[in-house]
């Protein structure tokens, strides 16, 4: 099952416009294929670890 984390605004009452982020955690058999697929949707790789099972973080502008 995918995990989900939402970043919170640090100041009470502050505007949340553009401050929210959605970071889904998805399983992948091939990180290269996954990165290529999401790049076509406008995402860019911001971090990648190749050791163990591997890990890829993709980002794309504010929600």
Position 35 scores a pLDDT of: 94
What pLDDT score does 20 carry?
A: 76
pLDDT of residue 23: 76
Domains of the chain: which residue ranges? 24-63
CA dihedral of residues 18, 3, 43, 47 (deg, nearest 10)? 100
Q: What is the pLDDT of residues 2-58, one digit of tens each?
A: 444 444 444 555 555 666 777 778 889 999 999 999 999 999 999 998 888 889 999
């Amino acid at each position: 099952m995918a995990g989900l984390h939402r970043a919170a605004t640090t100041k009470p009452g502050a505007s949340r416009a553009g401050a929210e982020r959605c970071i889904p955690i998805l399983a992948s058999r091939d990180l290269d294929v996954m990165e290529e697929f999401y790049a076509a949707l406008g995402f860019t790789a911001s971090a990648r670890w190749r050791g163990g099972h591997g890990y890829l973080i993709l980002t794309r502008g504010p929600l």
